[in-house]
Structure 1
């Protein structure tokens, strides 16, 4: 069984660029205030969600391993 991730968006940082929608269509949505939200906060590890986090211009997307809380993105250090 593969890793499971907890995906969160810091709405205080989110600028509504929609880069997450571009990188991972179907995994994020923008609300009426153009703030990003993960469609599934708990998801299987996948490259598109990671690309969305890496492509966010303000690093508003945090990914941790479900259960342990170990950071996936942004990496520690």
Structure 2
């Protein structure tokens, strides 16, 4: 199981982060404990949405898409 997740900073609500994991709750704890240098500055974070994919390559492709301009616009319209 592969999940693509979108996190939002609680203290800085305009800051979002997306990633891929097989355990969403554990990954959120990792982000909020500062284990990820990319998200440590704007912690704590909360889950905005997560999406299940059977295929890892599909999950990775969706995460990559979310990090593009078009993907951010899609996420803004659908998930935020």
What TM-score do you get using the length of structure 2 for normalisation?
A: 0.28
Q: Report the structure, 1 or 2, having the larger helix content.
A: 2
